[in-house]
Each structure stands twice: as C-alpha cells, then as structure tokens.
Amino acid sequence: MADRIQVLIVDDIAETRDHLTKLLGFEPDIAVVGTAASGAEAIEQATRLLPDIILMDINMPDMDGIAATERLSARVPSAAVVMMSVQGEADYLRRSMLAGAREFLVKPFSSDELTASIRQVYSREKEKASRVVVAPAGTRPETHEDGQVVAVFSPKGGVGRTTVAVNLAVAAAAELGKKVTLVDGSFQFGDVAVLLNLNPKDKSMAELVPELEAGGDPESVDTFCMTHSSGIQVLLAPPSPEMAELITPSGVKRVLEVLRARNEVVVVDCAAWFNDTILGILDLADAVLTVLTLEITSIKNIRLFLEVAEQLGYSHKIRLVLNRADTTLGIRVADVEHSIGRKVDHTIVSDGRAVVYALNRGVPFVLSNRESQVSQDVFRLAGSIVGNKSTREEEGRKPPQKGKSLFAWR
C-alpha cells in the first residue's frame, strides 16, 4: 500500500464517489485511501491521511472545490489536487490552477484519462520534490552536466517575450561563446522566424516531436533545427497554427531533454498562457524569466502568476525581467515591487526605435546595435542568467529597495 499512489476522492454525490473508487480499484499502483462528501470533510481527511492525490469535484454545496483547494495548498501542500468539472471553460481551468490544482479533468472522462492524469501528476510532483535541492536562484548545481534551460514566460501577451528570448539567445552565443538552441514555444503563432529572418522548410517542432516520439534518434534534432548566422540553432514553431496539434506535452519535454543534453543553453520563448505543455516547460526549466511591463494589466497578471508559481514550487527559479522600462509611464518600479511583493531582478530599457527597426530587418539588435542601452541591458541579463558562475554572482540580486509611495498609480 505504501508505495501505491494514495488517492482521496472528494465529491458530494455518493454514486460518483463509489464509481471512482471502483474504477481505481482495478489499478494495481493506485489505492483509494478515503472519500469525502464536502470541502470541509476533504480538508479534515487530507490533513489526517496525507494522500498523494486528491480528486476534487469543483461544484459542491458547502465549500466548492476551488475554495477547498486553496485551503489545502496551504495546509497539505504535499497533496496534489486533480480538479473534476462538468464545465471545461477556460475560466474554470484558470481559477482552478490559480487555486493550486495540478490538473483539470472534464466530466465525463474515461477510466484511462483518469488514471493517466493521476499517474502523470504524481510523477511530476515526485520529480519536482526531488529537484527542490536546487541551488540559489539563478544558479545551478555545478555537477549538472547538461545545459541550462531558460524559459521566457509571461502571463500576458505582447510584453516582449520573443524580443527578450531572441536577443538573449544570440547574446549568449555571440558574447559569451555558449552553444545555444532557441526554441519557439509559441506553437500556434510563433514569431521567432520573423525576428531572425528565417524561412522554415519542413523544419519545426511539429516535425521533430513525432519523430522523437516514434523513438527517433536524438541526433535527429539537428535535422529539424535551423542555423542562424549568429551561430545559434533555432527550433521553429510550425508554419501553420493547426500543426500545433501535432505537438504533445510529453513530446516537448522529450525535445527539451534532448536539446539540454546537446547544448550549454536552451532558451524557450513560451506562449502566454497555462496549459500542460507550458507547465511541462516551466517544470523542466532551470530559470523562468518572467517578463513584465509597467502596465497595470501586466502587473495584475504577474501577481496572480507568482501565487501559482509558488504553489507549483517554481519560486526559486523565477527571475523577474521588467521590459520597456520607462520612467515616464506613471508607474514606478518600486511601486510594482511593492505591489507584487518581490524584487524585479533585471530591467530592459524601452527603445522602440532600436527594437522595432531590428524586428523589421530581421536582425537582432544585440548584433546590429551593440552599443545601445537596450543591447547592454540584454548583455547584462545574459551574463547574469547564463554567464559563468562568477559573472552570475557579480550580477546577482542587489538588496531590495523599499518603495516610497505605495500604490501611487492606483
């Protein structure tokens, strides 16, 4: 029993509890250790039984599944919640993830879907727990021979993720001499090819994933990556949005593992939303550069993301990158830091002229406009995130500044 996945079932309908118990009873590696009919009972049972997984119904009369999940993530953080709902709307999913749920199942689901989710969440949590060893923010264990995976993420679009990812990757190669692969993780509407003026010819993540999933040789990544004149390798997004369907979360994970083993640095330009694929990338990443701008919507989303990130155990690897920093926007960095309760780690100046000119020419500004402040900011970021250990320490975090006027912009 002890080495089986211990599951607590929470649903206000007795038949559903019985049905799920029976379904899981057939699985040799899963044990149902308890059932609960309400949110309050779930908290009581989970505190006592310490299950690995809690299958939680989202709609319950007294305390709904989202409120129960929020309380559980504080009281029993070792238990991972899999939320069950009859509605599959994005808002439900988002609220569940924000509350700390690890997975979302839409009823009716098959027994295969159920058990696959339980096993997947369980192994992800185990892997995460084993990685909590990691060194202080921005550094990696020196014994790790593989390259460093740097995810560039933001919970809001249009804040400069692609600009940062592309210029960071090129700076790491051109300035720091690193072997770098840049991955366009915006599978539907990736822009990396445009910023680098690359013309994909049957070379993208959509072609590579099926190849690797079919047991293809790790060497095959070379076939599907393009070489940019700066020396970096680039794995592009598919040329048309519908091809993104060919890209599975497990396939992306496999691709990144292969790339990590073959590079010193792997930079991933992520999409601006949460799904299994993005969570898989963030899980695997050594550093998550979280890009924000001095806009109230960006700051609000960052605050929500940081809460989720803490629950998912990512806090130690998050580096906040303030992009398009401009003192004339009516929001000060100190105010932002106070609002989100965390220091901004890196700042990149706003320079529309240099950035848009580079974009339109398809030549990264760190190559064509090295002297500009925006390039210098990216070089500093590169030194801090992927430079040698001493550079990273030198560029490390400075003591937090205290915000003077709080919420002046509200």
Contact residues for Mg ion, defined by CB under 5 A:
161-162, 191
Q: How far is CA 136 from the centre of its chain?
A: 19
Q: Which is nearer to ligand ATP, 57 or 351 (CB)?
A: 351
The yes or no reply on residue 350 touching ligand ATP (CB under 6 A) is: yes
Neighbours of 86 (CB within 10 A): 11
Q: Which residues contact 142 (CB under 8 A, 6 or more apart)?
A: 389
Q: Is 17 in the site for ligand ATP (CB under 6 A)?
A: no
Interaction of residue 324 with ligand ATP, rule CB under 6 A: yes
| 148-153 and 265-270 beta bridge pairing | parallel
Which parts of 341-410 fold into alpha helices (H)?
A: 352-361, 365-368, 373-386, 389-394
Q: Considering beta carbons, is residue 56 or 195 the nearer one to ligand ATP?
A: 195
Query: What is the side-by-side strand order in the sheet with 287-292?
Result: 226-227, 233-235, 180-185, 265-270, 148-153, 287-292, 318-325, 346-349
Residue 348 as a binder of ligand ATP (CB under 6 A): the answer is yes
The single residue among 356, 368, 373, 400 that binds ligand ATP, judged by CB under 6 A, is 356
Q: How far apart are alpha carbons 142 and 20 in whole angstroms?
A: 45
186 interacts with ligand ATP by CB under 6 A: yes
Based on the shown chain and the rule CB under 6 A, indicate whether residue 333 belongs to the binding site for ligand ATP.
no
Q: In which residue are the tokens 């990696």 written? A: 140
DSSP 398: P
Pick 149 or 289: Cβ nearer ligand ATP: 289
Give 140 or 324: the residue with its C-beta nearer to ligand ATP: 324
Task: Retrieve residue 342's tokens.
Answer: 């965390």
Q: Which stretch binds ligand ATP (CB under 6 A): 208-216, 301-309, 350-358, 389-397?
A: 350-358
From the list ligand ATP, Mg ion, none, pick the one residue 210 interacts with, judged by a Cβ distance below 5 to 8 Å according to partner type: none
Question: Which residue of 125, 345, 351, 395 would you call a contact of ligand ATP, by CB under 6 A?
Answer: 351
User: Please, what sign has the CA dihedral across residues 402, 405, 408, 410?
Assistant: positive
Residue 227's nearest CA partner among 259, 164, 181 is 181
CB of 278 to ligand ATP, least distance (A): 13
Sort strands 80-85 and 30-36 into parallel, antiparallel or unpaired: unpaired
Q: According to CB under 6 A, which residues from 191 to 210 bind ligand ATP?
A: 191
- Supply 118's token pair: 């339980």
CB of residue 313 to ligand ATP, shortest distance in Å: 25
Contacted by 287, from ligand ATP, Mg ion, none: CB < 5 to 8 Å by type: none
Q: Which of residues 257-296 bind ligand ATP (CB under 6 A)?
A: 272
Residues lying near ligand ATP in the complex (CB under 6 A) are found at 154, 157-163, 186, 191, 272, 323-324, 348, 350-352, 355-356, 359, 374
